[in-house]
Structure 1
Amino acid sequence: MNSVVLAVVGVAMMVLGYVLYSRFLARRVYKLQDSFVTPAHELDDGVDYVPTNKYVLWGHHFTSVAGAAPIVGPAIAVIWGWVPAFLWVTIGTVFFAGVHDLGALWASSRHKGKSIGSLSGQYIGHRGRNLFLVVIFLVLLMVNAAFAVVISGLLVNTPTAVIPTWGAIVVALLIGQAIYRLKWSLPLVSVIGVAALYALILVGDRFPVVLPETVLGLSANAFWIVVLFLYAGVASVLPVWLLLQPRDYINGLQLFIALGILYGAVLISAPTVVAPAFNDSLPEGTPSIVPLLFVTIACGAISGFHGIVASGTSSKQLDKEPDARFVGYFGAVGEGLLALGAIIATTAGFRTIADWEAVYSAFGQGGVSAFIEGGAAIVNQGLGIPDGLSATILATMAILFAATTMDTGIRLQRFVVQEAAHIIGFSLNKALATVIVLAVAMGLTFGAGGDGSGGMLIWPLFGTTNQLLAGLTLSIIAVILLRKGRPVLPVLVPLVFLLVMSVYALIVQMGEFWAAENWLLLVLDVIILIAAVWVIFESAIVMSRAKKSPPDLDEDVMEGAAPGKRSSP
């Protein structure tokens, strides 16, 4: 199979999904209205609620949800063959992720920017909300702790990426000032920002930063983990316009340029896919493709983490409700393109099937390193960019997206802690809540692994928990749509599929953890399974009642509208 065919067919499917299917969702299902007053205007506070240009907001949303996961998942899942991974990424992006991401952004915007956890309390009940918050907290904990480990490893293994990684923060701060204080035009800021970022990549490739084996008594990996958490903690309490938005926006542009380089190299060099379409010679110990494929590839097909971001930060910055189609659905398309690029890099970036099999010698192999190695080989072959510089570009891309996900993840976990405190009956300011979040995440990272590897300890549960969260988020969206008398089938199909696959995967993993005597993961698996089943039953009861009740059109008219303004049903 020629990789050009995969690239053209995959990109065409996603583009058509945005042009056609997202338009149907926007007009018939979610009924986005330009006259609706969004929370960003109604509750504008200059910190979390900030009306934002849709392109800047798309950059924030896209890079916050992307991270390393749409690279890691597909780069591992191709062990079953490229066909299953390709089909799940393309179909999942168009009919699952777009519906979920756009729906979560719309639902939160229609409820004053409330998180999906808060909406679960309003539409499912207080028990459902509390259990929902447990799942959300665990997902965020897994993301923050694991991504810190992944980024630190990349900084140590790819020292040429150190300067562009930290230099991008300075670029972002300057871009924020240029947009909001100096009022420069967005195209001018974009050109300058991208040029500065790629200049840093060239500098980093020339001057790699290699840390000594120990720094302040810590290993190089542990030192970077501490620095990353401290940075993410500070970034999470700053106004979104100062660092989070501009950093994510410029990273979004950088990603599309990097993807353009990768896809351009594919079109020019047309490398052959050496990996099997369906792998009949799986290494010993490889789990069954069903249900594990659908939880191994989460981000890039559909991800519950996206719903947390959409309802946690993006909905508070939505300038006009119709912008949700571009921010939410096209954000999912961007991540699908990244996942597709990861599939091509890890199946066509090797010279022979023997080279590919040497990397994929066991389940869990591949990941970011395979993406960087395979992608660099394709870029070198197609565009003549040296292997070292190609690897620096791709490694910087992976690091920056994982880091922006950490920025947003720490902020979102702080929201969850504050919400949980409010439920209990007391309030926490954002500084104290952030300290609690950092203490828990760093406690897991270093307490469970003295060398800082503890962040990966509970990662085997991430895919399953993440997909479960996506299904539960879709259940809330379905209840809202039923209450409004809207078409609900586009939401119900992915909802049922995800809940079945994620619960099935939890049961399968429970047996694996029991056999391995991994009691921590077994206990967490049981807790998540009980919470999930409980929320599923309560959601089903609420949906049944909503289906039998007359549509609540008044709610559709007034949600979030400012006094004196109404949007038509």
Structure 2
Amino acid sequence: MQSITIVLLGIVGMLLGWLFYSRFIATRIFQLDNRFVTPAHELRDGKDFVPTNKVVLWGHHFTSVAGAAPIVGPAIAVYWGWVPAVLWVVFGTIFFAGVHDMGALWASARHKGKSMGALSENVVGKRTRSLFMIVVFLVLLMVNAVFGVVIANSFVAQPNAVFPAWTAIAVALVIGQFLKRQFPLVPLCIIGIAILYASVYAGSYIPLSLPESMFGLSDKANWIIILFVYAAIASLLPVWMLLQPRDFINGMQLLVGLLLLYGAVFLAMPDITAPAFNTSLAESTPSIIPLLFVTIACGAVSGFHGIVASGTSSKQLDKEPDARFVGYLGAIGEGSLALITIVAVSGVALAASPQEWHEIYSHLGAGSVNAFITGGANLIQQGWGLPVDFSSTILAVMVVLFAGTTMDSGVRLQRYIIQEWGDIYQLDFMKNGSFATLLAVGCCLLLAFGAGGSDGSGGMIIWPLFGSTNQILASLTLLVISVMLIKLHRPAIYTLVPMMFVLVMAFLAGLIKLKEYYLAGNYLLVVLDAVVLIVSVLVMLEAGAVISKFRLAKTSGHTSQL
């Protein structure tokens, strides 16, 4: 089969979802109201609460939620076959991710920009808030640790990406100042993209790397520390100064990257060499069900999106109807990246024959980011004629910048949660932004180095646990949204069905991983996995009790008491 068929079916499906399903959910279910005063206006402080153009906010939200996960997950999951991966990405984006992301924005905006964990107290109950925030903090901890290691690995493997990655930060700081002074957005965007790609070209000739050993640590370990120092500083800056412009520029850079990749498919029309359903799996390969649905999280549905939507994006929402553009369209953007990743690692651009593909994908976990960069670069060369080395640098920078923006937002969101705990428990020292940031970064470094040793490989060791924990969080977010809808006497089936499906798959995957970690003697991950599973059960029980109480009160005519 030609890859163009996959691309056309996937894109048409997502486009129909945007035109029809998202409009139905926005107008009939969430009932987004243009007259509603969003937290960005009501609580405007010029730092975190800032009314933002929906296109700029889409850029922030999209690049913050995308990270490297919609590349890593699909590039791994294609091992089971490209058909199940494509189906989960397309249908997951339309019916799961778009509703989840838009719903999280709506729910948070209706509760003064509170995070999903904090607003769960208003929707479900006090105990739920405490339990929910534990899961949220653990997910952020895993995300930041994982992406810190991903970027460090990329810097070591692709030193050509170092110069453009840090240049992008400098460009964003300058553009942020111009945007603050109301300069036109379009020319700034064009100039920013031009400088970014000029730095990519320069980076091909200016490889930068750290010494293999410095301060008793490897080059990868030192990159991890540098990255978290940067993330700590970035998380304390006002959103307009770095977060918004950097995310917007990265969003535009992704659009260019997607144009190159999708355009190459239409120009070269490469064949697919990967099996539709892989029947030659390695003996130790786990079952596709439930593992497929946690391996591909970002790109289908992801609990991390709810953290970003309710943590930073809702605080910048100019008008409530913008939630559809930012949330649902952001999910489609990520689904598009996941779809083209599947094509890049499944076709002749990566492997000229089925036999060669099986040699590259010898087991689950093979391929991943390197397969995407190699396959994507060859695909661009076949379609556009660009040199493979230059194309590889473009894609490596894209991966690094996405993971970097996720780290920026992730550390900031960890700070928010720690400060919220300070408010809840009246601990003034935890309300301090600098202290909260240092605590957040310290926890991330402790996990990265504590779980994996002095080279910081712990971030990748926890990747399987991140998948199941992340999807459990997605189901809990959908649960909170569902309870809100039930209390508002609106249909909740459009969120309850995705919630139940994701919860069952993620819970089963968590149980499977719990057994694996125990048999391997990795008791740190056993404890983390067990905590997440227990907390998720308790939250579901709390929500079930609230729904039952509400329905009982509704039948007796006393809903006002709730």
Shorter chain as denominator, the TM-score bin is over 0.9
Give the number of aligned pairs.
552
**Is 1:502 matched with 2:501?**
no
Match of 2:412?
411
Of 451, 474, 479, 1:475 maps to: 479
CA contact (8 A) 1:17 1:94 kept: yes
Comparing 525-534 and 46-55, the one that deviates more: 525-534
Match of 1:194?
193
Question: 1: CA distance between counterparts of 2:374 and 2:485?
Answer: 45
Question: 1: CA distance between counterparts of 2:164 and 2:412?
Answer: 23
Match of 2:543?
539
Q: Match of 2:383, as an amino acid?
A: G
Please state how far the C-alpha of 1:341 moved relative to its aligned partner.
1.0
**Is 1:326 matched with 2:329?**
no
Secondary structure class of the residue paired with 1:37: coil
Q: TM-score, normalised by structure 1?
A: 0.95
**Is 1:255 matched with 2:254?**
yes
Comparing 70-79 and 198-207, the one that deviates more: 198-207
Please state how far the C-alpha of 1:271 moved relative to its aligned partner.
0.7
CA contact (8 A) 1:232 1:406 kept: yes
Consecutive unaligned residues in structure 2, runs of 5 or more: none
Q: Match of 1:206, as an amino acid?
A: Y
CA contact (8 A) 2:76 2:365 kept: yes
Match of 2:423?
422
Please state how far the C-alpha of 1:550 moved relative to its aligned partner.
4.5
CA contact (8 A) 1:151 1:403 kept: yes
CA contact (8 A) 2:295 2:464 kept: no
Question: 2: CA distance between counterparts of 1:384 and 1:543?
Answer: 59
Please state how far the C-alpha of 1:549 moved relative to its aligned partner.
4.4
Aligned runs of 1:15-414 on 2, under 5 Å? 15-181=15-181, 183-348=182-347, 349=349, 350-414=351-415
Q: Match of 1:106, as an amino acid?
A: W
Q: Match of 1:327, as an amino acid?
A: V
Please state how far the C-alpha of 1:457 moved relative to its aligned partner.
3.0
Match of 2:434?
431
Q: Match of 1:43, as an amino acid?
A: L
Question: 1: CA distance between counterparts of 2:228 and 2:266?
Answer: 39
Indicate how the Cα distance of structure 1 residues 542 and 360 shifts in structure 2: closer, same or farther if over 3 A, else same.
Answer: same
Deviations 1:346-383 (A, max 9, x none): 10132111221122111111211110011111111111
Q: Match of 1:425, as an amino acid?
A: Q
CA contact (8 A) 1:41 1:50 kept: yes
Question: 2: CA distance between counterparts of 1:547 and 1:194?
Answer: 53
Q: Match of 2:7, as an amino acid?
A: A
Q: Match of 2:191, as an amino acid?
A: I
Question: 2: CA distance between counterparts of 1:334 and 1:546?
Answer: 37
**Percent of matched pairs sharing the same residue:** 58
CA contact (8 A) 1:483 1:549 kept: no
Q: Match of 2:155, as an amino acid?
A: L
Consecutive unaligned residues in structure 1, runs of 5 or more: 557-569
Question: 2: CA distance between counterparts of 1:265 and 1:548?
Answer: 58
Secondary structure class of the residue paired with 1:206: coil
Match of 1:559?
none
CA contact (8 A) 1:479 1:546 kept: no
Question: 1: CA distance between counterparts of 2:161 and 2:152?
Answer: 11
Match of 1:565?
none
Question: 1: CA distance between counterparts of 2:553 and 2:322?
Answer: 31
Moved runs in structure 1, 4+ residues, more than 6 A?
Answer: none
Deviations 1:19-67 (A, max 9, x none): 1111001100000111110000000000000000000000000000000
Question: 1: CA distance between counterparts of 2:551 and 2:207?
Answer: 60
Q: What's the Cα RMSD here?
A: 1.4
Q: TM-score, normalised by structure 2?
A: 0.96
Q: Match of 1:303, as an amino acid?
A: S
Question: 1: CA distance between counterparts of 2:187 and 2:361?
Answer: 44
